[in-house]
């Protein structure tokens, strides 16, 4: 447990400048804050200091309101008492009355009556005082009340404890019971007495009331007078009770000299009660509890309870009820009477309590004192006449449970002493600093303890805190001691070997770690049966290394073997089983079996929650993994909630910057990355990397993961492929240099690099990178490994880009074969592969096959409920595309509509996909000649583009042109021209070098003008259009021929037949050079030339060209074609003329 270091008195008269007096490292429950803007306490500060030093709580002065409020709000766990002058009370009260940190307010005033109205306005005011003595006394009274109010209950659910294994329990109840027994085993001599006196003097330094009593204790105390001294000496009771409430093992260890005497005295004096004729006692204790405390007792009815103090009680109910006088301001508390039954025949010598009337020299009116470890059963709780009656029975279960706990520990490690087991329990309770200090005390003061074991457990405390180098030093020292005493300690050495292996694992030195775990396993197999629980730990550790090697199948086998052993050994749910389940889930995540992984983590969580109701780092680790799974399932909000819970929990155990906390940073970055919030993701990854570089050596494999993640951000989010490649190659360099045999990771690096090259359009280089990855994987894994399937899919995707569709399909087909064997039939990865196969068949115009593959992908996606909706939308779009090509327009439209619904409802920020779907729906309506509906969809997509206009000027121009085309089809030529002109204007402004798009717009304007018989203006637009095309395109590009033909038609309409003929002849020559001789466009050009010759009154030439045109039409057009029939009629007309 971490202690709070604060100043006993802190002055802040000048802004937030602190003058420190009497630095105190005691555990603090209550902080006194004095708001004194006018420095009115200055003359009396020494007197106030002297009085409050006797209280032993820190006093903080503030002169500025804002800083005072900020300071109070910054306080986390402590309770605040506020002291102020009358003239400043109203100024501060309105700000602090609702702050949860503030419990009490005290006002100093020379004119009490003037300010008494405040007592009725602000409930937290305890009183108004005109003398410092009264003020100080009231503060001291309230501090005592607050500290006594919060009784530290410890509960234990006794069900099945005789059959359950109690190791790894994180229980305050066990701590209290075991501490009671341990204290009697610790050394008691003059050295321990001096440690106690020094601790008391340090705790009460400058407390002139208690220091003389400490001196008296040092000089006069006798061991057989411990009860008398405890009852008469407030300094003993206060320091002991506070240490017990705070579970301050360090301070309690220093008080062992007196505590052990007190416990032994209670045991001895209890015999007087045993030897009397008394067989059954009913005792009473009155308390004031908060509603929360009472509810906690009600929730634990019928369970076992112990209290972390030496409980006092009365024989007389009436006497107990007379002890209810409390502060007038504590009306929110509930009066509770504990009725305690003690049947001496049933509890035997396991429960000690004594009659203290003979010892009681103080004002205490209780007459019974219970031993520290007394255990009660909460029998019943009910309200009678405005008093809650809580009936309890003293039982001996506590001693039975603690003996069971010790026996269960010995079942795993035979020769552990009770003192070491206690330190291990503190560590299991996540109080690593307290455990470390305790073991260091043992190491320093012990004469008989096993020093190797003590050093080993000190190493474990450093291990938990992430101080791996220090942990390794202690482990090595322990191992050296064991080697010197090999005959007696060889079995214990396996625990040290395993822990060294775990340190090496955390440091990324997996092969060295593997060697240590194998050594431990070899020794354990020699001394233990194959189903002993210690064997399971070795198997689990080896499984973790296989996981890091990315040999998930092998890791899974090791974890399953360990789980079988543990489930047989423990018989009931146990923390070790939960950890085992966690590791299996972790491996299933590596195998991309996320649904199964989720189930295993949930099973682990159910055990952790029961073992650690107050939280534990294991729970944080589980929440983090669950967040990863949910992120993979695209449940981003749920993933975010889990990672935030994990982070909050980790911060209660670790300081910021601890390597386990930054795992949450990384997972949060993954969520932001998946949500395409790339800037946020990059910031989180860079924070993670910065801490990793401080914590790990620069060659740690975890740094590889982070470098690759940063590379992905630059690739996917920033489109900065060179920067992305730089990070991926850094990662590859680490693997190549320090992990040369970790081929699975090296293959992944080739995959990352390949995808980066693929995004740049460097398809051949990407192909080579993917092939290298595949070659490594085929050599490293069995042929059905899922990573091989992933690489096959990557190769298929790049072959698709290279338009090698047959080869691409074959690679995806191989991947599908592996996936169908590896996964359950409805795994989403199978759907991804089917989708790719559908896309390939689509571009090959094999629409029926394409539909079949895409439909199978759709059926898998639909089984995932709300998961993978984004991918399902892509599948719907692909099916829509297929149906569109098959001219099944209504069905195509329905699929597009489903895609749009998903994207608008689930992914409104991915507006590009929404726009694409709207365009697809517009295209369907356009093909159905439902032009108004088509325009509506185009307009919606245009509005979205215009919303993000800064990056979509070209898209806006294209969409304006599409709408113009619809208007053209509707023969609304003026409206069409307006859209075309807007499009051309945008292109000229933002893409002046995009000449072809500009030429297309000019050509469409010309076509509209031609249709409107405005041929002169039409020609004006065609002239720059033709210039642009001839300057920008290859001479053989048919787009030039198209414009030449349009120019010919315009000139013909203007009766400029020679110009029309010239353009058409140029068009014909291009067609004749490029197109096959039987192409319809050749026939059309010949026909147009013939028409121009007719206009020029040259019928013979016209007839010649008509006949050539007919020869082409007869090869490419049916006899019933209108154009062919018209041409035959024109030929006949000329022949007859």
> Do 537 and 639 fall into the same domain?
yes
C-beta separation of 330 from 104 below 8 A: no
Q: Is residue 337 part of a domain?
A: yes
User: Looking at residue 14, what is its pLDDT?
Assistant: 36
Assigned domain for 367 exists:
yes
Domain limits for position 1088: 1033-1137
Based on the fold, state whether residues 561 and 668 are members of the same structural domain: yes
CB atoms within 10 A of CB 1122: 8
Whether residues 237 and 117 share a domain: the answer is no
Q: Are residues 214 and 353 in the same domain?
A: yes
1000 found inside a domain? yes
674 within a domain of the structure (yes/no): yes
Q: Is the pTM of this model over 0.85?
A: no
Q: Is residue 206, in this structure, part of any structural domain at all?
A: yes
Using an 8 Å Cβ cutoff, are 338 and 390 in contact?
Answer: yes
With a CB cutoff of 8 Å and minimum separation 6, the contacts of 955 are 915, 945
The secondary structure of residue 314, as a DSSP letter, is B
**Residue 1020 structure tokens:** 């004006």
Q: Contact, 193 vs 232, CB < 8 A? A: no
Domain annotation covers residue 769: no
In terms of domains, do 280 and 363 share one?
yes
- Domain end among 407, 436, 471: 407
Q: What angle do CA 647, 648, 651 make, to 5 degrees?
A: 85
Q: How many domains does the chain have?
A: 5
Q: Which structure tokens are listed for 24?
A: 């105190």
pLDDT given for residue 1121 in this prediction: 94
Q: 3-class DSSP state for residue 184?
A: coil
Is there a single domain that holds both residue 145 and residue 228? no
What does the alpha-carbon distance between residue 876 and residue 873 come to, in Å, rounded to a whole number? 5
Report if residue 923 sits inside a domain: no
577 and 680 part of one domain: yes
Six-digit token string for 457: 């457990």
**What pLDDT, on the 0 to 100 scale, is given for residue 16?**
36
Q: 143 with 177, same domain?
A: no
Indicate which CATH number applies to the domain containing 364: 3.90.176.10
Q: Is the dihedral of CA 997, 1001, 1007, 1010 positive or negative?
A: negative
The CATH number for 1042's domain is: 1.25.40.10
The distance of Cα 500 from the centroid of its chain, to the nearest Å, equals: 29
pLDDT along the chain (1137 residues), means of 10: 31 35 47 82 62 67 88 83 86 86 88 81 85 82 69 81 87 95 92 96 86 95 95 90 92 97 95 85 90 90 94 86 56 86 87 87 73 96 91 95 95 92 96 96 82 96 95 97 78 96 97 98 94 96 98 97 97 95 98 95 96 92 97 92 94 86 93 93 95 92 96 93 96 97 97 96 97 97 95 98 97 97 89 97 97 97 84 96 97 97 88 94 97 96 87 89 95 95 93 86 94 91 92 92 93 93 95 94 95 94 95 94 93 89
- Both tokens of 274, joined, read 């045993």
Q: String of b and e for 465-478 (b: at least 16 CB within 10 Å)?
A: bbbbebbbebbebb
The torsion defined by the Cα of 68, 72, 75 and 76, in degrees rounded to 10, comes to -160
Both 1045 and 1003 in one domain: the answer is no
What are the distances in angstroms from CA 358 to CA 29, 313, 448, 837?
Answer: 33, 15, 39, 92
Alpha helices (H) along 863-969: 869-885, 889-906, 911-927, 931-947, 953-969
Rounded Cα gap, residues 45 and 54, in angstroms: 14
Tell me, what's the pLDDT at 487?
55
Among 947, 913, 940, smallest CA distance to 925 is for 940
Determine contact, residues 86/109, Cβ cutoff 8 Å. Answer: yes
What CATH number is attached to the domain comprising 28?
3.40.50.2300
Long-range Cβ contacts of 540-545 (<8 Å, 24+ apart): 540/579, 540/580, 540/583, 541/498, 541/501, 541/502, 541/505, 541/513, 541/517, 542/514, 542/517, 542/518, 543/583, 543/587, 544/505, 544/583, 545/505, 545/510, 545/513, 545/514, 545/517
Q: Which two tokens stand for residue 582?
A: 């966690």
Please identify which residue in the block is written with the tokens 């607050």: 146
- Residue 400: exposed, middle, or buried by beta-carbon count in 10 A (0-12, 13-18, 19+)? middle
Quick one: 400 and 489 in the same domain?
no
* Closest C-alpha among 1073, 1079, 1072 to residue 1112: 1079
Residue 76, classed as helix, strand or coil, is: coil
For residues 1041 and 1125, state if they share a domain: yes
Provide the Cα torsion 191, 192, 198, 201; round to 10°. Answer: -140
Task: Identify the three-state secondary structure at position 920.
Answer: helix
Q: Does residue 25 form part of some domain?
A: yes
SS3 784: coil
Domain limit, last residue, from 149, 179, 197: 149
pLDDT of residue 26: 43
pLDDT of residue 978: 96
User: 585 and 730 in one domain?
Assistant: yes
């Amino acid at each position: 447990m971490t202690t709070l270091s604060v100043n006993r008195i802190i002055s802040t008269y000048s802004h937030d400048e602190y003058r420190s007096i009497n630095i105190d490292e005691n555990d603090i429950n209550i902080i006194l804050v004095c708001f004194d803007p006018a420095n009115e306490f200055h003359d009396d500060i020494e007197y106030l200091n002297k009085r409050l030093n006797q209280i032993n709580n820190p006093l903080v002065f503030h002169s500025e309101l804002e800083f005072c409020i900020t300071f109070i709000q910054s306080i986390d766990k402590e309770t605040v008492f506020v002291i102020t002058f009358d003239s400043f009370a109203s100024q501060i009260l309105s700000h602090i009355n609702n702050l949860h940190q503030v419990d009490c307010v005290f006002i100093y005033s020379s004119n009490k009556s003037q300010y008494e109205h405040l007592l009725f306005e602000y409930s937290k005011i305890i009183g108004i005082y005109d003398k410092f003595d009264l003020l100080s006394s009231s503060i001291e009274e309230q501090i005592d009340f607050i500290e006594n109010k919060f009784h530290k209950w410890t509960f234990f659910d006794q069900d099945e404890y005789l059959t359950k294994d109690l190791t790894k329990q994180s229980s305050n109840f066990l701590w209290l019971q075991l501490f009671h027994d341990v204290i009697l085993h610790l050394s008691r001599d003059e050295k321990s007495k001096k440690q106690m006196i020094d601790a008391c003097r340090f705790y009460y330094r400058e407390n002139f009331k208690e220091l003389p009593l400490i001196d008296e204790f040092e000089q006069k105390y006798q061991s057989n007078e411990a009860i008398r001294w405890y009852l008469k000496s407030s300094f003993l009771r206060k320091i002991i009770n506070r240490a017990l409430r705070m579970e301050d093992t360090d301070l309690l260890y220093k008080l062992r000299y007196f505590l052990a005497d007190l416990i032994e005295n209670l045991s001895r004096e209890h015999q007087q009660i045993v030897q009397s004729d008394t067989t059954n006692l009913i005792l009473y204790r009155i308390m004031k509890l908060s509603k929360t405390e009472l509810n906690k007792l009600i929730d634990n009815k019928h369970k076992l309870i112990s209290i972390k103090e030496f409980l006092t009680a009365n024989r007389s109910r009436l006497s107990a009820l007379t002890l209810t006088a409390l502060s007038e301001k504590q009306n929110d508390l509930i009066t509770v009477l504990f009725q305690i039954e003690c049947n001496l025949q049933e509890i035997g010598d396991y429960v000690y309590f004594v009659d203290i009337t003979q010892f009681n020299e103080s004002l205490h009116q209780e007459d019974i004192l219970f031993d520290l470890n007394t255990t009660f059963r909460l029998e019943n709780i009910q309200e009678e006449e405005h008093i809650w009656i809580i009936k309890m029975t003293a039982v001996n279960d506590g001693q039975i449970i603690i003996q069971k706990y010790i026996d269960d520990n010995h079942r795993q490690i035979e020769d552990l002493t009770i003192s070491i087991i206690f330190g291990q329990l503190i560590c299991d309770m996540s109080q690593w600093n307290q455990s470390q200090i305790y073991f260091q005390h043992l190491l320093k003061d012990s004469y008989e303890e096993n020093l190797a074991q003590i050093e080993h457990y000190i190493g474990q405390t450093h291990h938990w805190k992430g101080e791996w180098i220090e942990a390794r030093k202690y482990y090595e020292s322990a191992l050296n001691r064991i080697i010197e005493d090999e005959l007696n300690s060889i079995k214990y050495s396996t625990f040290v070997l395993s822990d060294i292996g775990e340190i090496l694992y955390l440091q990324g030195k997996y092969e060295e770690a593997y060697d240590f775990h194998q050594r431990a396993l070899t020794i354990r197999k020699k001394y233990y049966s194959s189903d002993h629980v210690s064997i399971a730990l070795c198997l689990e550790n080896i499984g973790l290394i296989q996981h890091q090697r990315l040999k998930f199948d092998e890791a899974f086998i090791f974890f399953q073997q360990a789980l079988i052993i543990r489930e047989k050994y423990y018989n009931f749910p146990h923390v070790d089983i939960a950890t085992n389940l966690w590791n299996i889930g972790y491996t299933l995540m590596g195998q991309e079996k996320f649904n199964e992984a989720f189930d295993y983590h949930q099973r682990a969580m159910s055990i952790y929650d029961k073992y650690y109701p107050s939280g534990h780092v294991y729970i944080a680790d589980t929440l983090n993994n669950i967040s990863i799974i949910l992120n993979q399932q695209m449940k981003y909000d749920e993933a975010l909630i889990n990672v935030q819970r994990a982070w909050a929990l980790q911060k209660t155990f670790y300081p910021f910057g601890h390597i386990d906390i930054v795992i949450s940073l990384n997972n949060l970055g993954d969520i932001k990355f998946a949500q395409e919030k790339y800037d946020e993701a990059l910031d989180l990854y860079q924070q993670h990397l910065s801490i990793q570089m401080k914590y790990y050596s620069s060659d740690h494999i975890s740094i590889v993961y982070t470098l690759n993640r940063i590379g992905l951000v630059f690739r996917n989010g920033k489109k900065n492929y060179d920067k992305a490649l730089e990070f991926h190659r850094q990662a590859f360099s680490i693997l190549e240099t320090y992990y040369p045999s970790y081929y699975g990771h090296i293959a992944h690096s080739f995959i990352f690099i390949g995808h980066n090259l693929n995004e740049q359009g460097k398809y051949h280089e990407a192909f080579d990178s993917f092939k290298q990855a595949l070659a490594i994987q085929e050599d490293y894994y069995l042929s059905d490994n899922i990573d091989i399937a992933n690489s096959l899919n990557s190769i298929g995707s790049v072959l698709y880009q290279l338009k090698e569709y047959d080869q691409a399909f074959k690679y995806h087909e191989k991947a599908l074969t592996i996936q169908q064997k590896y996964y359950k039939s409805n795994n989403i990865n199978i759907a991804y592969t089917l989708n790719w196969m559908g896309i390939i068949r689509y571009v090959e115009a094999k629409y029926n096959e394409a539909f079949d593959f895409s439909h199978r992908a759709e059926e898998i996606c639909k089984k995932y409920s709300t998961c993978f909706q984004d991918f399902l939308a892509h599948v719907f779009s692909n099916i829509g595309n297929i149906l569109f090509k098959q001219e099944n327009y209504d069905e195509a439209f329905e699929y597009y509509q489903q895609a749009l619904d998903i994207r608008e409802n689930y992914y409104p920020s991915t507006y590009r996909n929404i726009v694409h779907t709207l365009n697809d729906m517009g295209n369907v309506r356009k093909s159905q000649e439902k032009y108004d509906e088509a325009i509506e969809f185009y307009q919606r997509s245009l509005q979205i583009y215009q919303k993000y206009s800064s990056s979509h000027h070209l898209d806006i121009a294209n969409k304006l042109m599409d709408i113009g085309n619809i208007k053209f089809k509707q023969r609304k030529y003026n409206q069409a021209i307006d859209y075309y002109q807007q499009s051309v204007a945008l292109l000229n402004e933002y893409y002046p070098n995009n000449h072809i798009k500009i030429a297309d717009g000019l050509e469409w304007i010309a076509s509209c003008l031609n249709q409107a018989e405005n041929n002169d203006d039409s020609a004006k637009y065609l002239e720059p259009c033709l210039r642009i095309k001839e300057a920008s395109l290859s001479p053989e590009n048919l787009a030039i021929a198209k414009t030449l033909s349009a120019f010919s038609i315009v000139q013909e309409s203007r009766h400029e037949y020679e110009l029309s003929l010239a353009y058409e002849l140029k068009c014909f020559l291009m067609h004749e050079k490029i197109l096959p001789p039987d192409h319809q466009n050749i026939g059309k050009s010949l026909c147009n030339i013939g028409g121009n010759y007719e206009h020029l009154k040259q019928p013979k030439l016209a007839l010649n060209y008509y006949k050539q045109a007919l020869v082409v039409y007869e090869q490419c057009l049916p006899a019933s074609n209108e154009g062919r029939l018209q041409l035959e009629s024109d030929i006949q007309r000329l022949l007859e003329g």
